[in-house]
Chains A and B, each alone.
Chain A
Amino acid sequence: MNLLERCHLCRIDLKHIRVVRGGQEVLRDINMHIHCGQLTMLIGQNGAGKTTLIRALLGEIPYEGSIRHEDGQGKAMPRMTTGYVPQHLAFDPDIPLTVLDLMGAALSRRAVWTGVGKRKKEEIRAILEIVHAGELLDRPLGRCSGGEIQRVMLALALHPAPDLLVLDEPVSGVDENGQRLFLNVVNELRRGRHMAILMVSHDLNLVRDYADHVVLLDKTVLMQGRPETVFESDAFRDTFGMERRQL
């Protein structure tokens, strides 16, 4: 009996995931668990299929195999809610849009060009407070830093409360201070809200410092486990030969 099978926490269970795109097998026989209360980080070279796996998890593309949300006893739980934070977006800094507008557009039925109601505004402020971004409420998007925008995206992903939070390279292109702030918030969510979190990262330093579980991907799972275990493996050396020395 291995470590994963002994665990009594809820988890998202991926079994024999296979994805074929344009006649090519992009992912094959992916088997992994994403545990609640853990930060699972997905690493691999460009083209290893990280984004494809995420899109399958989000239900954006067809796949073979099963993705199940299970409780501690291995029983299937009802429909899984997924929160998603995209890569840092480069959008028009002149767009007349505040953080409140953006959040309102996602969380309210009322069209935001007619404004956002008082109660909704307080609700949105409370959600922003979770990611330490309450002060951004009325700020135009164009005046937020990359890290601030990513925390706003994270706040959006928390509503409705997700069973699984998917972060697709959320801090690439964000300055170091912004990166740490973002990951500290992710850490708080993992502990405080017992959320299952899957994050794709290219930054192996961040992976070493923050991940509970690392999955090394190249079309299939080459290696998974604690960061130090994965970083010491042959598969990791073969994939990241040069970069490893910098760690």
Chain B
Amino acid sequence: MQGIYDLMDRLLPLEALHYNFMKNALLAILLLTPLLGLLGTMAVNRQMAFFSDALGHSALTGIGLGILLGAASDLLSMLVFGVLWALLISLIRHTGTAGADTVISVFSSTSVALGLLILSRGGGFARYSSLLVGDVLAVTPLDLLYLLLALVLGVLAWFLLYNRLLLTSVSASLARSRGVHTRLCEIAFGVLVALAVMLAIRWVGVMLINALLIIPAAAARNLAGSARRHALFSIAFAMVSGVAGLFSAYAWNTSAGAAIVLYAAFFYLLSLLLHRRVRG
């Protein structure tokens, strides 16, 4: 790890990066944002912004249940619960009883309420308030290892899954006629998003995680005409917002997650204006 720190000192001799916790934060953002940017493209194309929002909220319940059940780590209980939640939501979405957004809204509110109920027992919620806004400055070298692993596995999964998901998005019957198991693909995507969101949530926060997944991809969509550009622009917006947000937060002494999302929102606004000019 020291070798990486030394290299960063040499390449980026910035006052802000003097501290190791800032170096860790920067590395975390460089590992996390590309994955969220990539996954976001499909979440936006499939109009699943609300779905990932509900997933983010379920992190509270995940931790709460983890504590009740005596789980070894918060991360583990969040990951397990997030995946279960994703499976449950897609199952209910598939039965198509009520409108999908209604179902997801009920899920989202229920998980927030349940999480708050458990975590606020005995008036102790303050301990968990960092979960709401996240704290990227608390990243440890071990966390970085997890994030690196997640990025590698996530991109690999995205390489294998993407074409099938894309066909399914355009037409499920077309995808099926070409041998794609559309249900399985949708579930795999939900699980992948759940894992990425749960991994990121401690650093970005429950309230902002969805913004980081959705906004860069939405901005990129306004400017891109092809799948490749959509992915590239989305990754670029996510990474630039992440880095700019981190340094701004350091300079202004504010929450990094909030600053990152505001940069992303700025890109979105810009993309809207350019989109209008392009399309008249």
Q: List A residues at the B interface (Cβ < 8 Å).
A: 58, 60, 82-84, 86, 89, 91-92, 94-98, 100-102, 104-106, 108-109, 111-115, 138, 140-141, 153, 156-157
Q: Given A113, A153, A157, which contacts B227 in the complex, CB threshold below 8 Å?
A: A113
* Given A60-B176, A95-B45, A105-B167: A114 in contact with B159 (beta carbons within 8 A): yes
Q: Which residue of A lies closest to B230 (CB)?
A: A96
Kindly state the separation between the CA atoms of A92 and B174 in the bound complex, as whole angstroms: 16
B166 in the interface, Cβ–Cβ < 8 Å?
yes
- The number of residues on chain B lying at the interface, defined by a beta carbon within 8 Å of a beta carbon of chain A, is 29
Q: Is the CB of A115 within 8 A of B228?
A: yes
**Inter-chain pairs besides A96-B226, A102-B166, A114-B231, 11 sampled, C-beta below 8 Å:** A83-B177, A84-B177, A95-B45, A96-B221, A97-B227, A101-B228, A111-B158, A113-B230, A115-B228, A138-B226, A156-B178
Which residues of chain A have C-beta atoms less than 8 A from B160's C-beta? 111
Q: Which residue of B lies closest to A159 (CB)?
A: B178
| A215, chain B: closest CB distance, angstroms | 21
* Given A58-B177, A140-B225, A140-B226: A111 in contact with B159 (beta carbons within 8 A): yes
B41 in the interface, Cβ–Cβ < 8 Å?
yes
Q: Given B158, B159, B166, B174, which contacts A97 in the complex, CB threshold below 8 Å?
A: B166
Q: Given A92, A96, A108, A153, which contacts B163 in the complex, CB threshold below 8 Å?
A: A108
Q: Which residue of B lies closest to A141 (CB)?
A: B170
Kindly state the separation between the CA atoms of A112 and B42 in the bound complex, as whole angstroms: 13
B18 in the interface, Cβ–Cβ < 8 Å?
no
Which residues of chain B have C-beta atoms less than 8 A from A115's C-beta? 228
Q: Which among B41, B221, B225 has the highest number of chain A CB atoms within 10 Å?
A: B225
Q: Given B163, B170, B171, B220, which contacts A111 in the complex, CB threshold below 8 Å?
A: B163
Which residues of chain A have C-beta atoms less than 8 A from B45's C-beta? 92, 95-96
Kindly state the separation between the CA atoms of A143 and B170 in the bound complex, as whole angstroms: 15
Q: Is the CB of A112 within 8 A of B228?
A: yes
| B38, chain A: closest CB distance, angstroms | 7
Q: Is the CB of A112 within 8 A of B224?
A: no
Q: Which among A82, A94, A101, A104 has the highest number of chain B CB atoms within 10 Å?
A: A101
Kindly state the separation between the CA atoms of A12 and B83 in the bound complex, as whole angstroms: 45
Q: Is the CB of B174 within 8 A of A153?
A: yes
Q: Which residue of B lies closest to A102 (CB)?
A: B170
Q: Which among B169, B171, B173, B176 has the highest number of chain A CB atoms within 10 Å?
A: B173
Q: Is the CB of B227 within 8 A of A112?
A: yes
